[in-house]
Amino acid sequence: MTTAPGRDQTRSATAELAAFLVDTTVDDRLRARAVDGLVDTAGAIVHGAGQPWSAAVIAHVDATGGDGPCTVVGGRSTAPALAALANGASAHAFELDDVHEEAISHPGAVVVPAALAIGEHVDASGHDLLEAIVVGYEAMGRAGIAVGPAAHMLAGFHPTSMSGVFGAAAAAGRLLGLDAATLNHAFGIAVSLASGTMEFAASGGMAKRLHAGRAAEGGVTAALLAARGFEGAADGLAGRYGFCHAFGPEPHPERLTSELGDRWMIDEITVKPWAACSDIHPLIQAALELRADGLAVDRITRIEARAPTKAATQNTLDGTTSVMAAQYSAQWNVAAALVADPADPATYHPDRIADPAIARLQELVVSVEADAVFDATYAWRMGGALRVELDDGSVDERTVHGQRGSMHDPLSSREIDAKFLALAGRRVPVDALTCLRGVGERRVLAAGRALGGGNRG
């Protein structure tokens, strides 16, 4: 295990984190974690680039960006910040990107596009790319847990776009060779670029799809500005008006530096088996387990769900109205898991979300109630429970606490590879997975070409 450098109590918490991220040695075990994150995120990018909302972002980048060495999946190569914007939006386009549960954010969709963009920009080695991914996950995860994520999200902020700028800045800064003082300036700049609200959960739209890309773009911009001598706030994360205090009703800035070198954010990642908000994955799994055990779906008369307060507050909506609503709706996903396949992205296709069988079952999910048991472990260990009544008065129940794909029940590298091939296999060169798995022995440009294929311009 890597040992943290000596702690200097005279430095701000932001400066201490920056020094750790610059100086720490990333070992083989952590680099292997980064490969899993790279493969999983690459699949999400390639699949997501085919969505209409991603097409709009890619077209914007193609129209406004200049030439550059950085791959845009589905578009032409361009400058690093805009490549990060487009690929980050694609990575977050279909709820397939990984999650740090406690931080309630999607680090892969922000950090990997930022690292790929700067890696191509400086012609970095794949070895350096993997180290950048590790420190990017670390910065984003620590910013996310330090802001007090549950209260932060319930106040209306979207954690992925808010804390993501710090992960992108750290990954970019590592590849640019920033020293600790300059990375600290990048964090001080990044806090002014943090943005994104949860209004999409209330009134829809496509803005959520943009959030990871915007965070990746912002972090890359912050690192590039800092490299040019632009100075940021000295304590951008933990200062009086820094990220934690400005955006966190219940901040815990001490988490920025506690257990540095002993606890790694990249060890705590959930890889999504289903294309829906991870807060409702325990409910999806509970429904799938009941179905596998022979639940008579056509005899269901009533379904009651219990979940954390966040899911009961922000994930109760009619999923038949849009793809975004379907992927965010607890009721819809419970219904879909009983009669369809939530592991197949086609289940969430616009033509299928109003399927009468799913719509009928969604109406039978009469409640999604907050449960203190699940609040007690939110978001470190996600939980959910279903109570299903049948027409003969019998009841089936199922509780899931620590869902499939989470660090409590993780997917293997082989399962992550299978997910990549299912999402991206027909859209990338036949050796793309081999290239990504062996990126440590290549240049980052090879990974970009594997993903961009014939789209590089």
End-to-end Cα distance, the chain: 42
The whole-number pLDDT of residue 239 equals 97
Cβ pair 382, 285 in contact under 8 A: no
Rounded to an integer, the average pLDDT of 404-419 is 97
The whole-number pLDDT of residue 50 equals 95
Rounded Cα distance between 291 and 263, Å, is: 37
pLDDT at residue 162 tops 90: yes
User: pLDDT digit string (tens) for 435-455?
Assistant: 999 999 989 988 888 888 544
pLDDT at residue 7 tops 60: no
Residue 11 binned pLDDT confidence (cut-offs 50, 70, 90): confident
The whole-number pLDDT of residue 433 equals 95
The whole-number pLDDT of residue 150 equals 87
Token output for 45? 């990018």
Cβ pair 87, 213 in contact under 8 A: yes
User: pLDDT digit string (tens) for 305-318?
Assistant: 999 999 999 899 99
User: pLDDT digit string (tens) for 71-110?
Assistant: 999 999 999 999 999 999 999 999 999 999 999 999 999 9
**Which positions ≥6 away from 203 have C-beta within 8 Å?**
none
Rounded Cα distance between 426 and 443, Å, is: 24
Rounded to an integer, the average pLDDT of 156-167 is 97
How many CB atoms sit inside 10 A of residue 313's CB? 15
pLDDT at residue 268 tops 70: yes
pLDDT at residue 425 tops 90: no
Residues above pLDDT 70, as percent of the chain: 97
Rounded Cα distance between 322 and 344, Å, is: 17
User: pLDDT digit string (tens) for 360-386?
Assistant: 999 999 999 999 999 999 988 999 999
The whole-number pLDDT of residue 104 equals 93
pLDDT at residue 424 tops 80: yes
Rounded Cα distance between 261 and 21, Å, is: 10
User: pLDDT digit string (tens) for 100-146?
Assistant: 999 999 999 999 999 999 999 999 999 999 999 999 999 999 999 99
Residue 270 binned pLDDT confidence (cut-offs 50, 70, 90): very high
Mean confidence (pLDDT) of the chain: 94
278-401, what's its fold? 60s Ribosomal Protein L30; Chain: A; (3.30.1330)
**Which positions ≥6 away from 186 have C-beta within 8 Å?**
18, 169, 170, 172, 173, 178, 219, 222, 223, 225, 226, 232
Token output for 375? 């609040």
pTM of the model: 0.93
Rounded Cα distance between 18 and 232, Å, is: 13
User: pLDDT digit string (tens) for 274-332?
Assistant: 999 999 999 999 999 999 999 999 999 999 999 999 999 989 999 999 998 999 999 99
Residue 63 binned pLDDT confidence (cut-offs 50, 70, 90): very high
User: pLDDT digit string (tens) for 247-262?
Assistant: 999 999 999 999 999 9
13-272+412-455: CATH homologous superfamily? 2-methylcitrate dehydratase PrpD (1.10.4100.10)
User: pLDDT digit string (tens) for 332-341?
Assistant: 999 999 999 9
Secondary structure (H, E, C), the chain: CCCCCCCCCCCCHHHHHHHHHHHCCCCHHHHHHHHHHHHHHHHHHHHHCCCHHHHHHHHHHHHHCCCCCECCCCCCCECHHHHHHHHHHHHCCCCCCCEECCCCECHHHHHHHHHHHHHHHCCCEHHHHHHHHHHHHHHHHHHHHHCCHHHHHHCCECHHHHHHHHHHHHHHHHHHCCCHHHHHHHHHHHHHHCCCECCHHHHCCCHHHHHHHHHHHHHHHHHHHHHCCCCCCCCCCCCCCCHHHHHCCCCCHHHHCCCCCCCCHHHHEECCCCCCCHHHHHHHHHHHHHHHCCCCHHHEEEEEEEECHHHHHHCCCCCCCCHHHHHHCHHHHHHHHHHCCCCCHHHHCCCCCCCHHHHHHHHHEEEEEECHHHHCCCCCCCEEEEEEEECCCCEEEEEEECCCCCCCCCCCHHHHHHHHHHHHCCCCCCCHHHHHHCHHHCEHHHHHHHHHHHHCC
Rounded to an integer, the average pLDDT of 224-233 is 98
Domain residue spans of the chain? 13-272+412-455, 278-401
The whole-number pLDDT of residue 10 equals 52
pLDDT at residue 5 tops 50: no
Torsion (CA) 180, 181, 182, 184 in degrees, nearest 10 = 80
Closest listed residue to residue 314, CA positions, set 275, 255, 370, 355: 370
Token output for 72? 């845009």
